[in-house]
Amino acid sequence: MSNITRRDPLDDFFRGFFVRPVEYGGGAAANAEAPQMRVDVKEQEDAYQVHAELPGIKKEDIHVHIDGPVVSISAERKQDKEVKEGERVLRTERYFGQVSRSFQLGQDVDESRATAKFNEGVLELTLPKKLAPQAKRLVIE
């Protein structure tokens, strides 16, 4: 005959709560899950406005690529490996590595008139819509 044991999941949770810190994942496993880049895209009559959150990233580490209606944003956060003598890192939860995001807009972008600004961790793109080619009527001679 088998023994039946009743377990309370909350009991397991609180058992070690005050003895050790709660783990959120550690080491390489935590860094393997890159945070997502948060993006807002707004459409105006003649352009698209894109705001992408990239906190802690330097503007020279951000790259934007436009191919017709497809916009790709990539960025890299580099880790400063400065550890002072006598100092020991106990825990690091900040993400270091690359993040990227691609999305397709409803119309081709005019790359020659597109602009980008980076201010306080937010990348602002103004992506003018490419004018649709006008149909030309041929006159028969």
The residues spanned by each domain of the chain are 36-80+93-128
DSSP the chain: --------HHHHHHHTTTTSPPP---HHHHHHSPPPPPEEEEE-SSEEEEEEE-TT--GGGEEEEEETTEEEEEEEEPPP----TT-------S--EEEEEEEE-SS-B-GGG-EEEEETTEEEEEEEBPPPPPP-PPPP-
Q: Over its length of 141 residues, how does the chain's per-residue pLDDT go in tens digits?
A: 556 666 666 555 555 444 444 443 444 444 445 567 899 999 999 999 999 999 888 999 999 999 999 999 999 987 767 667 778 877 777 777 888 999 999 999 999 999 999 999 999 999 999 987 777 788 888
Q: Please give the angle made by the CA atoms of 118, 121 and 64, to the nearest 5 degrees.
A: 50
- Domain 36-80+93-128: which CATH number of 3.20.20.70, 2.40.240.10, 2.60.40.790, 3.10.129.10: 2.60.40.790
